[in-house]
Structure 1
Amino acid sequence: MGKVIGFELNSQDAEKAAQFYSNVFGWNVAEPRWGYREVDTGGIKGGISQGPPDYPHGTRLQIEVDSIDEAISRARDHGALVVRDKMEFDDFYLAYLVDPTGLGMGLIEKK
């Protein structure tokens, strides 16, 4: 079962968004790393980034799966669009999809 492990806020003004959430809600927002600012809300963790062309603004859930390849395949079978195929990072794999209703999500498989 996929579990929600975080969120990603995409904005065309990531610095302004980071200041807003820090000032209004007291979130701890880290300095940018690869254009991504890790966020600690005191609960669920997430991040704020400059929205890419394929998802310029909005919120994406980050869902951890056991096998990213299998999850991508199942999602495609059920009408999802893969907007960024499996990418490799130091500790995890990541892909971005849009469900059949237009909602974005990230899939994460830890190494």
Structure 2
Amino acid sequence: MDANKPPRPCFVELPTQDLAAGRAFYARVFGWNMTSFGPSYACTLTGDVDVGLQADAGEATQAPLPVIDVPDIDRALAAVTDAGGLITKPIFAFPGGRRFHFRDPSGNELAAMKPD
């Protein structure tokens, strides 16, 4: 992301119990092609707001997870903490970048990511 552009939602991650069924559903309904990233994850790669399916029960959230593209992951983490957000998953690497999860004051879980 360009450092001069404001952070924006770029991704929504959906928990799923059956990755193949989820992929088939979204392909049939919306014509979405999803790229696999291991045996338990797949996502669209449109470059706009993409959708990911997380089938790893240990990694899946309880509800859809909005992901915000930020220009500086460390600065975003500090801003969330300073504003009273609760970090639910510290910064970690994933194929394509780094991200962390947090809860806002209303208890909504979100993530911030910095692509590579």
Asked whether the two chains share a fold, i.e. TM above 0.5, the reply is yes
* 2:27 equivalent in structure 1: 22
TM-score of the pair, normalised by structure 1: 0.78
Q: Which moved more, 1:75-84 or 1:25-34?
A: 25-34
Structure 1 gap ranges (5+):
none
Per-residue deviation, residues 23-44 of structure 1 (Å, max 9, x unmatched) = 1121112234252102246953
Q: Hey, which of these two has a bigger chunk of strand by percent? A: 1
* 1:87 equivalent in structure 2: 92
Contact kept in structure 2, 1:54 and 1:83, CA below 8 Å: no
How many angstroms does 1:57 deviate by?
3.4
Letter aligned with residue 2 of structure 1: P
TM-score of the pair, normalised by structure 2: 0.76
Identical columns (%): 24
How many angstroms does 1:78 deviate by?
2.1
- Cα distance in structure 1, aligned partners of 2:47 and 2:113: 21
* 1:97 equivalent in structure 2: 102
Structure 2 gap ranges (5+):
1-5
Q: How many residue pairs were aligned? A: 111
